[in-house]
Amino acid sequence: MIDIVLDTSVVMKWFRADGERHLEPARSLRAAYERGRLFVFAPPLLRLELVNVAGRRWNWSEGALLELAGALDDLGFELVEPELARVAYWTARGLTAYDAAYVAVAEAQAARLVTDDDRVVTVAGEIATALADIES
């Protein structure tokens, strides 16, 4: 089993495909997770970010948002609160505090972060891998 951190830019593709890039590698990661080949870590804010995207960007209804909330609870990711000092460190290098939280969790777990956010890969390339580079 491989330890990995997935950020919102990846996991959101598990719930909606319209207009999203790099769907095949995201689906490949989901399949590997569902087969028990990946152990996924994430900061707790992942769930809030996904509900926010679904509600504000995708304009999902209350019912759909409640369904999403249940699905997120059922995913079974290991939610890890990032160390605030590491979040500050990565924020000082140009990431948002939200993106820095994923990098900090990856550091703490000695795991790769997979992201579809080009800025995260640019700033934290020693920890982050572009979703596009994941083989489908």
Q: What is the 3-state secondary structure (H, E, C) of the chain?
A: CEEEEECHHHHHHHCCCCCCCCHHHHHHHHHHHHCCCEEEEECCHHHHHHHHHHHHHCCCCHHHHHHHHHHHHHHCCEECCCCHHHHHHHHHCCCCHHHHHHHHHHHHHCCEEEECCHHHHHHCCCCEEEHHHCCC
Give me the mean pLDDT over the 103-126 stretch.
Answer: 97
Structural domain including 123 reads: 2-133
pLDDT score for 60: 96
Give me the mean pLDDT over the 97-121 stretch.
Answer: 97
Q: Which one is predicted more confidently, 6 or 136?
A: 6
Measured distance CA(127)–CA(121) in Å, rounded: 8
pLDDT score for 135: 74
CATH (domain of 118) = 3.40.50.1010
pLDDT over 90 (residue 67):
yes
pLDDT over 70 (residue 136):
no
Q: Which one is predicted more confidently, 17 or 11?
A: 11
- The tokens describing 39, both together, are 């152990």
Give me the mean pLDDT over the 97-124 stretch.
Answer: 97
Q: How many domains does the chain have?
A: 1
Give me the mean pLDDT over the 61-70 stretch.
Answer: 96
Q: Is the pTM of this model over 0.85?
A: yes
pLDDT score for 20: 78
Measured distance CA(46)–CA(62) in Å, rounded: 19
